[in-house]
Amino acid sequence: MKIGIVGLGVVGLVTGAVLADQGHEIVGVDIDQNKVKGLQCNRSPIYEPGLDELLQKNKERFTFTTDYSMLKEADVVFITVATPTVEGKNYIGYVLDAAKAMKPYLKRDTIVVVKSTVVPGTSRKVKQIVEREVVSNPEFLREGNAVVDTAKPDRIVIGSDNKASGDMIENLWSFTKSTVLRTSIEEAEMIKYAANSFLATKISFINEIANLCEVIPNCDVNTIAKAIGLDKRIAPYFLNAGLGYGGSCFPKDTLAFVSFARELGEELKIIEATIKVNEERPKRAVKIMKELLGGLNSKTVCILGIAFKPNTDDTRESVGLKIAKLLSDEGANVLAYDPKAKTSLVKMVGSKEECVKVADGVIIATEWEEFRGIEQMLQDKAVLDGRRVLDPNKMSRKKFRAIGLYRGD
């Protein structure tokens, strides 16, 4: 099949690469000329495990351009452009721009698939613009695991008005052998927000339990999470207490969902509380470090991890960066190290050893594998384990704190 992918971020690149690997011919379109030039020279703009290899293997079948007219033979076009939250609301301007730009080149029977995360009603607006069949096929991949999640998702949601168009997209994904749900277009759009909001809520829930564990003798949130997770109705996933959720999706999608609902006269009280709990996490980390160091002014604090999660170089809504900013505001010198992510927002150093050596305090903000087993290196430092990677029994009692672990004696 000939397939167009409009928007070459994580979702567009991975979707294109996985479909190219199935033998389809893919044209990737983006308005970012530098990104397209890099991709044409085999340079991926992101670090995502397995992606480089897949792009390399399928380079004859996945081409890149800024020219929308290259979509003229496409049987299916996926819209995978960014949908940021702007002033609290889901901004669909890029989606509508993409729809307008592609319209003159589409064949009469091209199916346009909205994969970007959009509030209910948006795909129907796309339909009005392109005057073609439109299918909503939201994406559930996780960064750091995107290739595997796309090739083998837990489920595939296909929202369509027209059975034949939905069948065509269902067929396209049949190689995944995943469970398929056929829904209305609006239900498909809504499922994406409900899923992300529920997962974010699980995280804020366990983080509140973690707060309580910190003040109850002999309590460790990890034990509580493990035990409640063994109840099949609760399940063990997404119960890792820590410094809160970051990334390109949960923060923006929860905010957008709340404001979308409010415009319709409904209050999403649980999701509002989820957001509020999450916003407190970086402040709590700074408060703990301040207590450990007896003040922050002129102290040097090392942040280990500025990627919003391990196995990605993405720093969007990174908790590590939020903490760095709050620490600087309190007069601390802040240094950071991350195995993959780069930023100009904080002074970065080349290794964890270099970062720790000069620090009075250390905060582990991302659970990269290389931060495990470093207890010895941290012995004489004030340490906050924000992602529970260290063995508390190997740490000095006085200067060590871990999220969700009682150390108050």
Ligand X SMILES: O=c1ccn([C@@H]2O[C@H](COP(=O)(O)OP(=O)(O)O[C@H]3O[C@H](CO)[C@@H](O)[C@H](O)[C@H]3O)[C@@H](O)[C@H]2O)c(=O)[nH]1
Ligand Y SMILES: NC(=O)c1ccc[n+]([C@@H]2O[C@H](COP(=O)([O-])OP(=O)(O)OC[C@H]3O[C@@H](n4cnc5c(N)ncnc54)[C@H](O)[C@@H]3O)[C@@H](O)[C@H]2O)c1
List, by residue number, the catalytic residues: 249
Decide whether 360 or 367 has the Cβ nearer to ligand X: 367
Smallest distance from ligand Y to CB 53, Å? 19
Distance (Å, whole) CA 119 – CA 244: 24
Applying CB under 6 A, which residues contact ligand Y? 6-12, 29-32, 35, 80-83, 94, 97-98, 116-117, 139, 141, 143, 248-249
Decide whether 308 or 337 has the Cβ nearer to ligand X: 308
- Give the DSSP H or E segment for 385: strand 382-385
Chosen from ligand Y, ligand X, none, partner binding at 239 (C-beta under 5 to 8 Å by type): ligand X
Q: Segment 277-316, which members bind ligand X (CB under 6 A)? A: 308-309
Distance (Å, whole) CA 96 – CA 102: 10
**Residue 9 touches ligand X, criterion: CB under 6 A:** no
Annotated binding-site residue? 72: no
Distance (Å, whole) CA 193 – CA 188: 9
Quick check: 343 and 315 in contact, CB under 8 A?
A: yes
Smallest distance from ligand Y to CB 91, Å? 10
Query: What does the DSSP assignment read for 249-309?
Result: SHHHHHHHHHHHHHHTT---HHHHHHHHHHHHHHHHHHHHHHHHHT--TT-EEEEE--SSS
Annotated binding-site residue? 88: no
Decide whether 9 or 282 has the Cβ nearer to ligand Y: 9
Decide whether 70 or 228 has the Cβ nearer to ligand X: 228
Decide whether 10 or 301 has the Cβ nearer to ligand X: 10
Chosen from ligand Y, ligand X, none, partner binding at 240 (C-beta under 5 to 8 Å by type): ligand X
**Residue 250 touches ligand X, criterion: CB under 6 A:** yes
Smallest distance from ligand X to CB 306, Å? 12
Instruction: For residue 389, count CB atoms less than 10 angstroms from its CB and return exposed for 0-12, middle for 13-18, buried for 19 or more.
Output: buried
Chosen from ligand Y, ligand X, none, partner binding at 10 (C-beta under 5 to 8 Å by type): ligand Y
Distance (Å, whole) CA 241 – CA 353: 26
Annotated binding-site residue? 192: yes
Supply the DSSP symbol for 404: T
Nearest Cα neighbor of 361 from 394, 323, 391, 393 is 323
- Give the DSSP H or E segment for 38: helix 33-40
Chosen from ligand Y, ligand X, none, partner binding at 6 (C-beta under 5 to 8 Å by type): ligand Y
In angstroms, what CA-CA distances link 251 with 198, 255, 272, 306, 382? Answer: 12, 6, 11, 16, 29
Segment contacting ligand X by CB under 6 A, of 32-40, 69-77, 195-203, 321-329: 195-203
Give me the half-sphere count of Cα atoms (radius 13 Å) on the Cβ side of residue 182: 12
Chosen from ligand Y, ligand X, none, partner binding at 242 (C-beta under 5 to 8 Å by type): ligand X
Q: According to CB under 6 A, which one of 48, 133, 143, 170 is a site residue for ligand X?
A: 143
**Residue 240 touches ligand X, criterion: CB under 6 A:** yes
Annotated binding-site residue? 143: yes
Q: According to CB under 6 A, which one of 133, 139, 170, 338 is a site residue for ligand X?
A: 139
Q: According to CB under 6 A, which one of 51, 119, 239, 301 is a site residue for ligand X?
A: 239
Applying CB under 6 A, the site for ligand X has a residue count of 20
Decide whether 15 or 240 has the Cβ nearer to ligand X: 240
**Residue 249 touches ligand X, criterion: CB under 6 A:** yes
In angstroms, what CA-CA distances link 391 with 289, 303, 374, 400, 409? Answer: 19, 18, 9, 11, 18
Nearest Cα neighbor of 77 from 40, 102, 108, 104 is 102
Residues 6 or more apart from 315 whose CB is under 8 A from it?
Answer: 306, 307, 308, 321, 341, 343
Distance (Å, whole) CA 91 – CA 82: 9
Chosen from ligand Y, ligand X, none, partner binding at 299 (C-beta under 5 to 8 Å by type): none
Binding residues for substrate: 140-143, 192, 238-242, 246, 309
Binding residues: 30, 35, 83, 117, 140-143, 192, 238-242, 246, 252, 309, 316
